[in-house]
Amino acid sequence: MDAQLKKGFLEICVLASLRNKDLYGYKLIEDISEYIEISESTLYPILKRLESSGCLTTYTQEHNTRLRKYYRITEAGKKRITDFLSSKEDIMKIYDFIEREDEI
Amino acid sequence: MNKAEFLNDLRCKLNFLSEEEREKTLNYYSEIIDDMVESGMSEEEATLQLESTKTIAEKLMPENVTQGTTMEKVFDFTDTLLIKHGYLFVLLIIAFSFPIWSPIVVGILTFVGILFLILFALIALGGVGSVVALGIAASFITQSLLSTLSALGVSMFCAGFTMLIAIGTFKLINKISSFCKITYQNVKERSEKRRNLK
């Protein structure tokens, strides 16, 4: 997949994974990997960006005598998912356009 | 590599980050390795599955920091001179400062020349040494096993040494040529931009 496009999708995928539950880094990778390829080093800057743009917050919790960082979605993050989903029609229009132009 | 080795290696390669950012990144990878181990992998398997520390560091690096800034500064400086005072002025400056920059240029060129001369001499020497030692090994083959083996060892050492130097030289040439290409590209872009400004 196109790298720029993938970057955009991955941000929303991370937010979508966090929609109903808080998750830690490794679990996020496991969940998202089922649908789209993601590596640890790709996830890291995405998490940083989402945190600095206020789409998610973090907290640490003890797990098996060590610390684990959990990520929690914010209202702003939820809004980004809704915005993304509501643009589906527009995206489909772009696909149609590209396909049509390609056929001629 | 086990977890501690991996994190140590990564710490060294992330020296361009601030202390805080570095620790954050290391914590992130430390936690991921712990989770991988918890899911049934050994530390070695976990670090193998991760990307190399080099790749991780490269991805976190702000793009071409050193090359960008120093080069940009030099180009910006010449740009302002050219726009403010025109080509003639700059040419005059270059002409009059000849006694200053010419020894520097000659010095750099001589240094690079001698460096390559030494490198190529070492490659030739190593190559010849390896072949000669191989010959000596062959001549000892009917007489003494020990001498044959030691000569063979020397030959292998020479061959390895030659390869090492050759690879280094090749990389150096690549670096220099990419530097020249980038500089040329920059100069071209800048002069086009100046032309468009007029």
Structural contact between residues B151 and B133, judged by C-beta atoms closer than 8 angstroms: yes
Helix (H) or strand (E) holding B193: helix B145-197
Which chain A residues touch B56 with a CB distance below 8 Å?
Answer: 40-41
Scanning chain A, the segments in alpha helix (DSSP H) are 3-17, 25-33, 40-52, 75-86, 88-103
> Is B67 a domain residue?
no
Task: Please give the pLDDT value at position B65.
Answer: 47
Q: Taking the mean position of all CA atoms in its chain, how far away is CA B130?
A: 27
Which range marks the domain in which residue A90 is found?
3-103
For A19-54, what is each residue's pLDDT tens digit?
999 999 999 999 999 888 888 988 998 999 999 999
Q: Is the pLDDT of residue B68 over 70?
A: no
Which chain A residues touch B28 with a CB distance below 8 Å?
Answer: 25, 40, 44, 69
What is the rounded distance in angstroms from the CA atom of residue B178 to the CA atom of residue B141? 48
Q: Is the pLDDT of residue B88 over 90?
A: no
For B32-47, what is each residue's pLDDT tens digit?
999 999 989 899 988 8
- Nearest chain B residue (CA) to A45: B60
Which chain B residues touch A68 with a CB distance below 8 Å?
Answer: 31, 35
Task: Please give the pLDDT value at position B64.
Answer: 43
Task: Please give the pLDDT value at position A7.
Answer: 85
What CATH number has the domain bearing residue A54? 1.10.10.10
Which range marks the domain in which residue B163 is found?
97-197
Q: Is the pLDDT of residue B186 over 80?
A: no
Q: How many domains are contained in chain A?
A: 1
Using a pLDDT cut of 90, give the percent of chain B over it.
Answer: 34
Nearest to A26 among B32, B55, B60 (CB): B32
Final residue of a structural domain among B60, B86, B105: B60
Judgement on whether residues B129 and B187 belong to the same structural domain of the protein: yes
- Nearest chain A residue (CA) to B33: A26
Judge whether B36 is closer than 8 Å to chain A, CB to CB.
yes
Bigger pLDDT: B143 or B115?
B115
Q: Rounded mean pLDDT of B4-8?
A: 91
Judge whether A49 is closer than 8 Å to chain B, CB to CB.
no
Closest listed residue to residue B137, CA positions, set B150, B119, B124 = B150
Q: Is the pLDDT of residue B77 over 90?
A: no
For A51-89, what is each residue's pLDDT tens digit?
999 999 999 988 888 889 999 999 999 999 999 999 989
Average pLDDT across chain B, whole number: 86
Q: β-pairing, A66-73 with A56-63?
A: antiparallel
Instruction: Of B8-12, B67-71, B166-170, give the lowest mean pLDDT range.
Output: B67-71
* Residue B74: pLDDT band with limits 50, 70, 90: confident
Task: Please give the pLDDT value at position B169.
Answer: 94
Task: Please give the pLDDT value at position B197.
Answer: 62
Q: Rounded mean pLDDT of A2-9?
A: 84
Using a pLDDT cut of 70, give the percent of chain B over it.
Answer: 94
Final residue of a structural domain among B15, B39, B60: B60
Judgement on whether residues B42 and B103 belong to the same structural domain of the protein: no
Q: How many domains are contained in chain B?
A: 2
Judge whether B25 is closer than 8 Å to chain A, CB to CB.
yes
